[in-house]
Amino acid sequence: MTIDCCSNIAFIPDDIWEAITIKVATDSIRSLCSLRMSCKAAHDAGEADIVHRSVSIPPPHATPWWWCLNPEAKRFFDRCMAAGNPELLFREALRELFIRRNENVGIRMLNSASSRGHAAAKYAMSMMLMLRTDYNVEKQKGLELYRELDAAGLLADSNARCFSILTVSWPGEVQMPRLEEQHTVCASPTCSTRGHMPLLYDYRRRAAERNSVHAFGRASHIPCIQCRADYDLQAFVNLP
């Protein structure tokens, strides 16, 4: 139910209402619902695809359990997905890749989400491309995406986002790809750390099991960007 107030809001242009609604949608779903119930203009603005594309989706652990049972909530999320909401595209891409094993579909979804600025989708995309052994061009593209995330300081957070989705949404169902020797990114014969990332990852993992301070830092101290990518590949395939 909406309320039409006798005030100057009736004279606000539609594009301004849309911009306001987008701003509110990026805060939370609850904020968007509250705004849409305030007046007819806000309700109508909330119907735009760009609003559904911009909605901030809460993390799995913060999502009310009854949303998945509510038909209206399901219709809302379906609309967001159809509009190209990057967070929902990212989650569905992980489902396609590591549960349904539809790599081509999952890669397309990751590409769509990362093109809209979703850092975790870009991270997963870089990992999947670097795991390719049949197309060297795609491996190089994956490394370039990895370099961009590294320069922006988004690697650790993106890895954590992937971990959260995979472990909370589908516990026990995830099948990650296997990491073989031919997946090694660093090919420099003069690199002193080449081939040592599995050992470093295992050391960090065991330190984490002991709650040791040596669990922190990942491979940030390694000067070779390709070796750091090899470390992240180790972390990625061992996410669940």
Burial zone of 110 (CB within 10 Å; 0-12 exposed, 13-18 middle, 19+ buried): buried
Distance CA 13, CA 26 (A): 21
* Tens-binned pLDDT, residue by residue, of the chain (240 aa): 444 554 566 678 889 999 999 999 999 999 999 999 998 999 999 999 999 999 999 988 888 888 888 999 999 999 999 999 999 999 999 999 999 999 999 999 999 999 999 999 999 999 999 998 776 888 899 999 999 999 999 999 999 999 989 888 888 889 999 888 888 999 899 999 999 999 999 999 999 899 998 888 888 899 999 999 999 999 999 986
Tell me the H-state helices in the chain.
Answer: 14-25, 29-36, 40-45, 49-54, 71-83, 86-98, 103-115, 119-130, 136-151, 155-169, 197-209, 225-237
Ramachandran bin of 235, using left for φ above 0, alpha for ψ from -120 to 50, beta for the remaining angles: alpha
